Amino acid sequence: MAGALDGLRVLEIVGVGPGPFAAMMLADHGAEVLRIHPPRSRAPLASLDGPTDVLARGRSSISLNLKEDAGREALLTLAAGADGLIEGFRPGVAERLGIGPDACLGRNPALVYGRMTGWGQDGPLAQTAGHDINYIALTGVLSAIGPAERPVPPLNLLGDFGGGGLMLAFGMLAGVLSARTTGRGQVVDAAMTDGSALLSAMIHGLRAGGEWPAGREANLLDGGAFFYGTYACADGGFVAVGAIEPQFFAALATGLGLDPAAFEPRDDRSLWPQFRQKIADAFATRPRDHWAEVFAASDACVTPVLDWDEAQAHPHNRARGTFIESGGIAQPAPAPRFSATPADVPAPPSPPARQDDLLAAWGLSETDQDRLRQSGVLGGADRAHR
């Protein structure tokens, strides 16, 4: 069955992290995404190369030397038959190569040109290097995450994937919808700083309303509230507690053998540390899985903190197929879910099985392909994908 994005064609100039994540999401739901990588490319982390590169799933790839005139011309030809293009160069690099927005939209005025960067296409930091931790630090997000003693990076989930890849995928689809209505393409400037800031919109509202008055580990959702956080159990495992509403907290206290009335007034933040200690003492009397069983059928909003393997084996995740296997690699399933156009299990990353036909369908004639191969500009999949 065709996915929701069946018929969408996107070129992906291969990068790392958020750009491939955006392209993966599009491909997961039926878009035809062709990966363009430079010769002898190599990911900075060995696991981000070849069959273990989950972010490359569901797409074919070719090698195209964009430093050569013929390679650039081939890319522009491919762009003429695409709905979108994704690149993650530093600002100005694509223009210097001759494959920037003006060149690509000159060939295809309806093209949506997606640009994935950390700092954005302009601003004082646009030309400087950075990573997820830097982008969320500059937007204030990192300052709110972690224990009171120091901020802790939440992996690279917020900047790279939430504030970067997801925003770019949304921008590409919004741009395509606009182009199909107006016939005009445009540039999508997806900056991880912008996206990370956007993800914190609710926190800005809480701050404006006086409900986020303190530093780390002292507010409603950052581990400060005794009814929202993690607790250690007797076996060294942890449980996650999200009993914000009074009725959910009552179920939590009852399950722990405590009196809900002993935790009033709940809104008095000066009492939160002693309330937290009471709950911590209760959880510390039994192992994690004991509490998981106690609260499994309740509305106490208590769940065990699972490791990666345990998460894949959990009955709820198994029932929903939250994790799948593709090419022998366990990985998250495509999301979200569609009732009429469900996503298939993505194929592992691979070179195109019939490259000649594929490139012909994208607008490169057999003669052009032969010429590019003879000149060494066009290759198959990179060495990691052979």
- Name the packing angle between helices 192-199 and 166-182 (round to 10°): 100
**Consecutive H or E run containing 247:** helix 246-255
37 is catalytic: no
Task: Characterize the bridge pairing of strands 228-232 and 238-242.
Answer: antiparallel
Inter-residue contact 283 to 231 (CB < 8 Å): yes
SS3 of residue 98 by DSSP: coil
Phi, psi of 151 (to 5 degrees): -70, 150
Catalytic residue among 28, 53, 83, 160: 160
Q: Which residues contact 15 (CB under 8 A, 6 or more apart)?
A: 87, 88, 89, 116
SS3 of residue 219 by DSSP: coil
CA distances from 149 to 44, 57, 133, 143, 215 (A): 32, 39, 17, 11, 10
Q: Which residues contact 275 (CB under 8 A, 6 or more apart)?
A: 226, 263, 266
131 is catalytic: yes
Q: How far apart are CA 365 and CA 372, in angstroms?
A: 11
Residues classed as catalytic: 131, 160
